Amino acid sequence: MKQQGNFLLLECSEFREWLKKQSVTRNIRVLQVHHTASPNYSTRKNQDHFKCLEGMRNYHIDTNGWAATGQNITTFEDGKIAISLDRDLNKTPAGIRNFNTGCICIENIGNFDNSGDTITEDQRKTIVHLYACLAEKFNIPIDTNHIVYHGWFSYTGTRLSDYTPGKSSKTCPGTNFWGDGNTIAAAKKGFIPDILAEYNRLKGKTNINEDGQQMTEVEKQEFNALKKQVEDLVNSKDSLKETNQQQDEYLKNVDERTKALENKHSLSEIPIYAKEAIEALSKLTDKNGNKVIDTPTGRSADFYSIITVLYRSGLFK
C-alpha cells in the first residue's frame, strides 16, 4: 500500500481488508463498469502508476471541467488497485452522465474494444475480486441491474434495454470486454458469474445453487446420495474392472445423477485439476460405440471433482 499525491495504490490482496475499514455514509446501490480506452496497455508501458493516475486527473479537471478525478477506483493491467483520494467512496463519481448518485465508478485501465487490448489474467482476477468485495461491503446484488456497463446508457443517462450502437453513449467497457462483449447477455455469460463465484469464495460458501444460495435440504440429500454412490464406486473399483459393461453402467449412473445438479452449478471453464480426467473420459465409449460423455464443458464443480476422483482411482484405464 502506497500513497502519493491524490491517490492510494494497493495490491489486490490488500483491498478487502482496506475496504472493511472504510466508513461510507452515502447509500451505495450500483457499481459501474468502465474501461479507460486511453490510457491503455500501450501507453502504460514503463509508466509509473501515479503518473498515469495524475494524468487522468488533470484531464478530468482541465478538459472536462470536473472538480476531481472522475472515478472512485481504478484497476491496472498488473493487478494493482488505485483509490482516488480526491474522489473517495463517500463522494459521488463522474462516471455516467445523470446516473451517478448511489454509484461507485470503477475505471479499468485498457482499451477492451475489438482489436484493442487483451485483458491480462492479473487484471481479470483483480476486477472480479474488487467487485465481489464491493458487493460484500455494500450488500449489493450481483446482477445486471446493480452491476452496470456504461454502454447500457444513452448520452443523457437513460438506461437502455441493452448496448445499442447509435443510442449507447459509449462502447464502454469495450466490445470485447471479458472476451464476451459489452451486452447484457455477455455480462450474464461470464462477468457476473465470475463475480458471484469470487463472492461465494470470500464468504466461504459451499454447495451453492444457481441463485448463489445454499442448497436446500432436498438438494443436499441428492448431493449426499451422489457422494455415497461415488464412494461405493471407488470401493468397488476392482469388481468394476472385471467387465466393461458393469463399468459403463456405473459411469452412466454417475453421469445421470450428476446432470440433475450440474445445471445449477455449471462452470464456464473446466478446472485445471480436472482437465486430464475429462480428456480421458471423453475418449471412452460404451459397448455400442457411443461416447460416455459428449458434453465435457459447462459442468458443475462437483461433477469435475467426482470425475477426477474416478480417474485417479484408475476407472478409465
The Cβ-side half-sphere exposure at 214, using a 13 Å CA radius, reads: 7
Q: What is the pLDDT of residue 151?
A: 98
Residues 83-116 as b/e (b if ≥16 CB within 10 A, e otherwise) read: bbeebebeeebbbbeebbeebbbbbbbbbbbeeb
Q: Which residue has the higher pLDDT, 191 or 235?
A: 191
Q: Which residue has the higher pLDDT, 254 or 128?
A: 128
Report domain 2-202's class.
alpha beta
pLDDT in tens, 41-74: 999 999 999 999 999 999 999 999 999 999 999 9
Q: Which residues of the chain form CATH 3.40.80.10?
A: 2-202
pLDDT of residue 239: 61
Instruction: Say if residue 34's pLDDT is above 70.
Output: yes
3-state secondary structure of 153: strand
**What is residue 95's predicted lDDT score, i.e. its pLDDT?**
97
Please return the burial class of 304, using the count of CB atoms within 10 Å of its CB with bins 0-12, 13-18 and 19+.
buried
Q: What is the pLDDT of residue 126?
A: 98
Residue 228: CB atoms within 10 A of its CB come to 10
Residue 210 pLDDT level (bands cut at 50, 70, 90): very low
Entry pTM: 0.67
Contacting residues for 311 by C-beta, under 8 A, at least 6 apart: 276, 277, 280, 281
Q: Taking all residues of the chain, what is their mean pLDDT, rounded to a whole number?
A: 88
Query: Which tens digit of pLDDT belongs to each residue from 269-296?
Result: 888 888 888 888 888 887 788 887 878 8
What mean pLDDT do residues 172-189 have?
Answer: 97
